[in-house]
Chain A
Amino acid sequence: MSALPRADELGLIGCHVCGQVCSLGSEDAEALACPRCGSAMHRRKPAVYARCWALLIAAFLMYIPANVLPIMRTASLGDIDDNTILSGVVELWVKGSPGLAVIVFCASIMVPMLKFLALGTLLISCQRGSNWARRQRAQLYRLVELIGYWSMLDVFVVALLTALVRFGYFSLVEPLPGVVFFGLTVVLTMFASMCFDPRLIWDGKEDSDD
């Protein structure tokens, strides 16, 4: 037993909703419910790895068409322009809005990629029970949780422009399938990070420097 005991080690389990603490016997394999509020109780989130991996893989699969397919069509006086995320960034950069290009690049390309990397790292390290840089990993998870929904920026831009720019022949913005896949990617990564249980980071062998 380490210096700082874990609830698990003390045979206790707490309800996430009402805070009821129960003693845990040998019912580990069973599905538990809080005796006070009736919400599901579990030592760690169930099937974390399966869910996380499944959602993460699905998100990654969606991310490919999201980048390959065009997300938005701008038609102006018959000049039809289909843009993928990357081509939009390039166009912004070329046409003299590097700041905007950086923002869109961060929100639409860097953040999803970072999320894939971060969640992947967390999942792999937790599955291996690694005790490497636990605090930093916990911080990383909080960061992923925080910035997750900012990736929806692109989707919002397309949705807003589609609704606002409707001047028939003169100017028209239409969403294209790419944006759907991109939205799905963002949603799935958010689900994946929600499914992850950061307590897993702290499971495993105790480290000397901890």
Chain B
Amino acid sequence: MTDKQADNLPRPVLRKRRNSAWLIWLVPVLAAIVGISLVVNAWLQAGPGITISFQTAQGLAEGKTPVKYKDVVIGMVSKIRLSADRSHVLVKVNLEKSASSFATSDTRYWVVRPRIGLGGVSGVDTLFSGAYIGADTGDSQTEQYDFKGLETPPAVTHGEPGKSFTLHADDLGSLDIGSSVYFRRIQVGRVVSYQLDKDGKGVTFAVFIDSPNDRYVNSSTRFWNASGVDVSLGADGLKLNTQSLATVLAGGVAFQDPTGPHDTTPVADGTSFQLFADQTTAMAPPDGPPSYIRMRFDQSLRGLAVGAPVEFLGMNFGKVVSIRMDYDEKAHRFPFIVGAVVYPERLGQAHDKLVALAKQRGDNADLSHMVGTLVDHGLRAQARTGNLLTGQLYIAMDFLPNAPKTNYNPDARPLEIPTAPGSFDKLQEQMADIVGKLDKIPFDQIGNHLNDSLANLDATLKQVNGQTLPSLNDTLHDARKTLGAANDTFSADSPLQKNLGNSMQELQRTMRSLRVLTDYLGVHPEALLRGRQADPAPAAPKQPPAAQPNRSQP
């Protein structure tokens, strides 16, 4: 039955067989090629692996933190581990093949994190995206695979146009890395680094001025610390001077050329400058080398402070740097030794001329010999009162006309300038002298004498009161009487008065007749000889009229 059924069944259609089963093997071959190409590609793209050490791995993550140069990813952190001594972390970075030039010795790596400082905010993008490692490379070809990462981003990246300059200052002030550098209040650069001098006597800054503004720095340019607020009270009111609000907080450096003609050729990269404390100091003519002098004062120096000015004929010449006490065992006194730094070049032309003169004389042009000449002419240092209210003293160097001779030693180091008591001290001395003299007056004896005299006076007065005054009273009484009598005598109806009136009338008459006579004699002078002529006339007296006209009887 089955055989029969099978026979009845149709036969399948025969087709030409396509022997293409091997084609299927192309699929795994293709897959293998893709896989191998991936491996080869990865191998080709893999650049050098480097290790960077950081203080902390804060913000870094294995396989996630990229290494960027100019915001282009050039590598990836592959592993983070602690160093053997646990003092820092070692970050392994796989650089890309194209970035193999970053495995050279002058490449710097640092972690870019959000930084919020007084000078500004940076790395805000990393606030959300997480930190990344920034890179900056140089020109070196020397291969290096171990790096020490910077803790702060470098202020200057390689190839940035501009120039670096070195500044020397006494202290750091409020400057920091990244503090701005201003030229005419335009920000043109920044502080790149600072470090203590090797001798510890100052701080050296490196500043970077961006191109093209670096051409304004020339050999006579003055740099000054523009931090903080400069408040000055002048005749034109209160002045508040600051470079910008940022410098008040974060500090800054400003530079400018001094006024007047000077060389304006830009200086070379790396030139050193002095960083002055403020603009006024910076713009002042250069002080020149300082000299140290010493003065010995015998009187109290209350009110003299370190930093007090030393003035030469009223010109600021230096400042006091030390005040120390000494003991003079012979005189049992405590003189003060005042040390001061002076800048002879501040005297300008005077200094030049003095130097020239010293050279002419054959002395060395040292300050000591110049001062020697001046001391011979009466140069003395005095502590004078600069402010009567506060009693602050300053050192004045002046020529005193009657200065006593001193033995000046030009070879002494430090140079010792003879001193004279100050004018105020002199005044004080004189006052003391007067007071001393006053003291010598025997006030108590004088008082005693005076007391005795007063007692005598008292007795005398008593006597006067008891005896003299009553008699005086009587005398006065008598006097009044006498006066009354006198009064009577001079009254209008008194005989004396009457007589006097008569006498006066008589005198009047006499005068009249005398006049007639003189008139007549004037007309008739001959009458003196001949007598009166025919015309009726009063009898001419014989005696001369001028001799006794008043007494002539009518």
Contact = CB atoms under 8 A, between A and B. Distances in A.
Interface size for chain B: under 10, 10 to 19, 20 to 34, or 35 or more residues? 20 to 34
A61 B28 contact: yes
Contact of B6 (A10, A64, A79): A10
A21 B128 CA distance: 71
Nearest to A78: B129
A36 B2 CA distance: 22
A82 to B, nearest CB: 8
Given A79-B128, A188-B27, A27 B21 contact: no
A29 interface: yes
Interface stretch (A43-51, A97-105, A131-139, A198-206): A43-51
Contacts of B9: 12, 21-23
Interface stretch (A52-60, A108-116, A142-150, A158-166): A52-60
A47 B24 CA distance: 10
A35 B12 contact: yes
A30 B17 contact: yes
A31 B2 CA distance: 25
A30 B14 CA distance: 7
Interface stretch (B30-38, B44-52, B197-205, B432-440): B30-38
Prevailing SS type, chain A contact patch? mixed
B15 interface: yes
B386 interface: no
B25 interface: yes
Given A61-B35, A79-B129, A54 B28 contact: yes
B335 interface: no
A89 interface: no
B184 interface: no
Contacts of A35: 10-13
Contacts of A62: 31, 34-35
A77 B130 CA distance: 10
Q: Which residue, of A13, A22, A34, has the highest number of chain B Cβ atoms within 10 A?
A: A22
Contact of B21 (A21, A51, A65): A51
Contacts of A188: 27, 31
A64 B34 CA distance: 11
Interface size for chain A: under 10, 10 to 19, 20 to 34, or 35 or more residues? 35 or more
B18 interface: yes
B125 interface: yes
A32 interface: yes
Contacts of B16: 31
A182 B125 CA distance: 34
Given A12-B6, A22-B9, A79 B17 contact: no
Contacts of B160: none
A34 B35 CA distance: 41
Nearest to A170: B128
A90 interface: no
B81 interface: no
B449 interface: no
Contacts of B130: 78-79
Q: Which residue, of B16, B21, B24, B34, has the highest number of chain A Cβ atoms within 10 A?
A: B24
A6 to B, nearest CB: 13
B301 to A, nearest CB: 67
B43 interface: no
B165 to A, nearest CB: 37
B24 A23 contact: no
Nearest to B6: A23
Nearest to A41: B12
A81 interface: yes
A77 B128 contact: yes
A152 interface: no
B15 A30 contact: yes
A77 B127 CA distance: 9
Nearest to A64: B35
B12 A24 contact: yes
B134 to A, nearest CB: 15
Contacts of A24: 12
Given A12-B6, A31-B17, A65-B35, A78 B125 contact: yes
Contacts of B63: 82
A154 B179 CA distance: 53
A193 to B, nearest CB: 15
B64 interface: yes
A80 interface: yes
Nearest to B2: A10
A110 B7 CA distance: 51
Contacts of A27: 11-12, 14
A45 to B, nearest CB: 11
Interface of A: 10-13, 20-25, 27, 29-36, 38, 40-41, 46-47, 50-51, 54-55, 57-59, 61-62, 64-65, 69, 76-82, 184, 188
15 contacts: A10-B2, A23-B6, A23-B7, A25-B11, A30-B17, A32-B14, A33-B15, A54-B25, A55-B28, A58-B27, A59-B31, A76-B128, A78-B129, A79-B130, A80-B64
Interface of B: 2, 6-7, 9-18, 21-22, 24-25, 27-28, 30-32, 34-35, 38, 63-64, 125-126, 128-130
| Pairs of residues from A and B, 8 with the lowest C-beta to C-beta distance, nearest first | A78-B129, A77-B128, A47-B21, A58-B28, A61-B31, A32-B12, A58-B31, A31-B17
